[in-house]
Structures are given as structure tokens and as C-alpha cells.
Structure 1
Amino acid sequence: MELHEGPLGPGQRIRFAQWRQRSPAHERAWEKAAVLLEKFNTLPPPGAVALKKISAPERRKAIKMLAAALAIGPAAWIAYRAAPWSDPAGHYRTAVGERRELVLDDGSRVNLNTDTRIEVAFSASERRIRLQRGEVMITTAKDRLQQPRPFLVTVEEGRIRALGTRFTVQQLDRSSRVAVFEGAVEISPAGMPSAATVMPAGMQTTFTRTQVAPPSSCDDAAAAWTSGMLMADRMPMERFIAELGRYRSGTLQIDSRVAALPVSGVFPVNDTGLTLALLEQTMPVRMQYFTRYWVKVVPR
């Protein structure tokens, strides 16, 4: 996938540079996209989703749609942050398709992904977040109290203790996924609280109430949602559609005949309709719309 068609003109270069400088989030989003797109250029066909495979007019249209979606993603995030949006004291949530940021009393930051619900409870002895549903990115701050309090995240399967870190936690069905980007975390399954596992930056794992799976390397895709993107590198279409469905109201299905197709690219999560349109223009699939909220991906 390419984000441009030929060299940018002088005016385009200036506008693009201004957009990147406007916000650290814009710069991080571009850096992540550029790294992954460069990686895709080395993939042999049909592994990469190549816009060059479609006609020039369609390719230019797809490029413009994707560029626009990536540009408005951070703006959408800022708008959500500026709006009032809390439940009763200490409870916070997002609807399907929403992403929001919360700054805690101690300066720590919590980014909430789509369809997420948390409870924040700070006391004299601890700083605790209960993840009831969904996914969060947490960037911890140094405690301002003279006696530092531990920073804990609890899920159905157990507890994660932050050790000066930036990490994500996702509540899955009967397990939780943790990815660490800075510092380290300590994972304690509920059924084996004494068997804590320390996981350093650059690693990710899942755990249940009784065990922690062997960790694996953590890739940028695990945090791409914080920049309004869904990154895929040879991801099976079935898994891609399941992930995209988290950001879309209604039912998103897939025909078994295209379930194994590999998808590679950078796609916007703030506009799932646009992402489906991009798939139609770059993959041998089409969207079968039964209603606005019931869509099935089928062979073209």
C-alpha cells in the first residue's frame, strides 16, 4: 500500500509538515504508518495490499480517502477528550467506535478504546483501575504522595501491577491480553496470586485465572488504535474483520471462502465504512449489505 502517487508538490509538502508538527500524536501516527508501509513494500505479492493493482483513478480515490481518515483520526480523539463524558463518580466508558483519554489525579493517562468501561479508585494506599470491559492504554506517572502508592489494574483473570510503564490491557473472553511498551509490569493470576510474572517492555502475553502464557514480541499494531489506526501484516481476513467489528455497531460477517485471505495495510478505525470500501478496492472481495448495520464480506 502506498500513501502517495508520485512526489508531493511544494504546497502539499508544507501542509503535510504543518499537520505533523501540530501534534505529537500526528507525528507518532505518521511514524508508525511509515515504518509499517515500508515493511509492506518488501512483502511479495499477494501478501501486501497494493493500491497499484487497481486502476489509476480508483487508486487516487483510495489514497485520498485513507489520507483523509488518518488526518482526522487525532482530531476526533481530541474532540472526545474535550467533551464531558463520565458516569457516576469514578466510572468511565466509551461507546462502540469511540476512543477517549482520561487524565487521573496523579497525572497518569488512560486511553480508552472502543466499547470500554473502567472504574478508577484511588485511596491512601493504592491507585487502582478496574477494567470491566474493552481495552485501555495506560501511561503511569510518578506518585505525588510522599509514600508512593502502587498502580494496579484488575481484570476478571487477576491483577497487573505497573512498574513505571506504558502498557495496554484488553479484556478478552475468559482471558486478558497485556502488551508493554515502556518499563515493565507484574502479572498475578487470580487463582495463583503468589505466582507473579514480571514482563518487560517489548513483550506481550495473555493470561487466565490460573496461568500466564509464554510472552512474545510486542509489535506496533498492539497500540495502533491510540492513533486511530488498525495495522495488519498478513492478517487473515477473518481476524481482520473481527477486529474491525469492535469499532462498528451492528453485525459484520465474513464468507468462509475469503476468511484466509491475507490483509496488509494501515486502515482507519474512526470510519469503518471507509475501511470496508478500501478492502473492496484492494482485495478480491465485495460488501453485501443486508441493512446499514448488517454487512457480510463475500468473494467478488
Structure 2
Amino acid sequence: MKNDQPLIGRRSVLRLAAALGVTVTAGALAADRLGAFDGAPGTAPAPPAPSGAAGPAAGPPASAPRLRPSAYRLQPMTAYAPATRPRALPPVRQRPFLSLTGVGRSMVLTFDDGPDPRYTPDILATLRRHDCRAVFFVCGEMAAENRDLLREMADDGHVIGNHSWSHPLVPRLRPSRIRDELGSTSEVVERAVGAAPLWYRAPYGAWNRHSFEIGAELGMEPLAWSVDTLDWKEPGSGTIVRRVLDGAGPGVIVLSHDAGGDRSQSVTALRRYLPALLAEGYGITVPRR
């Protein structure tokens, strides 16, 4: 992760991903069926038991730890948060979930690339004000420097997902590097909040077979999105609001960002579209496993 302007353009990334034979998610595609979820229309969901598509998240402070080869989950880890019973691994999927089914008039709000102390606290405050939960797909190098924000997310009942360590284009990586990116991020989250992520999202929405396999080995399901706000382009808060409200519907997953550049428009937009969604009778929920 460097700054909000990727080293190669978004269209080039998607073209490259397609040429490499990976799954690039798009909101119009059909979704796999997902099981049970908390949250009903007009009610806040219970606390839990996802960028994607934008540019890379902003770089961490200079003191951020370097990514190291990760043996996470390859051997028992008893030094912290010991598991009381083995967790069943999810199946290896061939595509991510793009929307939710069986949740009535409920939607999911997701935020990628953080946590960022400049913007994440304001997003958390807005969600708290309306008693709503969201999914935060965090990047490991940002999470490592902002563990207090991870704990605040967990305390508020939000779902913390895995968005890799450094926001790379996954299909360019060797399997060992994909494991390092995902495993090191899961380790940071588990050390901070006592539970590893159950969901992950590929940077740029570029998935491949290895990412699905390694994600499943680490106990995570792949979650994409239905509505892309394109807030990383900084189109104006009004445009972001319009995209969310125009795309609203049962089971919709909204992609936004709380890091990766100037996210003040995303913060302002959330303050406007969240109460509007609630007023229209939509519940805001999170996936449960």
C-alpha cells in the first residue's frame, strides 16, 4: 500500500487480472447462497459470532513492521487466545459471495483498506450513533499500527475481515506469498481482538484459485460486493450517496473505504445515506458464520 493512486490504473489492473485467468468480481454477477444472518428490517443486528476494488490503501507510518514469512495456522498456536475446540474449515469456493440471500430488507456496509486514525473513528462514531454494524476489511500493515481501532471495532460488534497485508495484486503472487499476506494479517487481528477473521476480500477484487484455497485453509470465506461506491475516485459525497441509494436492495453489499487516500467524502456520505437507508426500512446487518 502506498497512496491512493495505484501504480497501474484500475482498468489496467482489471485487464491484467482477466488475462491471468482470475475471478474479478462485479456487482452485477449472480451470488452464491449464504446461510444465516443476524439483523431484521428496522432492527440492529446482534454482534457477530468484507478492496476490494479501489486503489491501494495509504501507506502506514515509517515504523510499520515489515511483512515476514508467516507460519500462521500451519502449526498449533497456544501462546494467545487458545481455541476451545477446533473450528471447521469452510469449503474452497470458486467465486466470492457477491450479495446475501434470505436477509429480508437488509444490507451490508463494508469498508476497505483501514484502519486509518484520520477517518475510521468518524465512521465508527456514525455507525454507533445509528446502532448499526459493518464489515471492516483491514490491511495488515495498517492494522498493526492501529490495534486500538481494531479493538474498538470488535467492542462495537463489527466484523473484522482480512484484506491482505500490503494490498497487492494477488494473481501476481506465488502461493507462499499469498499465505504470508493473508496469514500475517489474520495473526495481527487475532492478537489484537482474540479472534481471527472469518471473511476476506481480495485487493482490487482480483481472486484466483490459490487465494480461495489458502483463504479456506485459514478459516475464511470470500466476500465481494454488489454496489461499488467508487469513493476512492473522490467523486464527491453527493455522488457516493446517490450510488448507495440507487443501488439499495435486499441483500446488497456496499463497498466503501476508510483508508487509502482522502476519505473525508466517504465519511460525509455515510452520515447522509445511512439514516436515509434506515428511513426507507432497510436493516443494516453483517454476515454470520
- Structure-2-length-normalised TM-score: 0.29
Which structure has the bigger radius of gyration?
Answer: 1
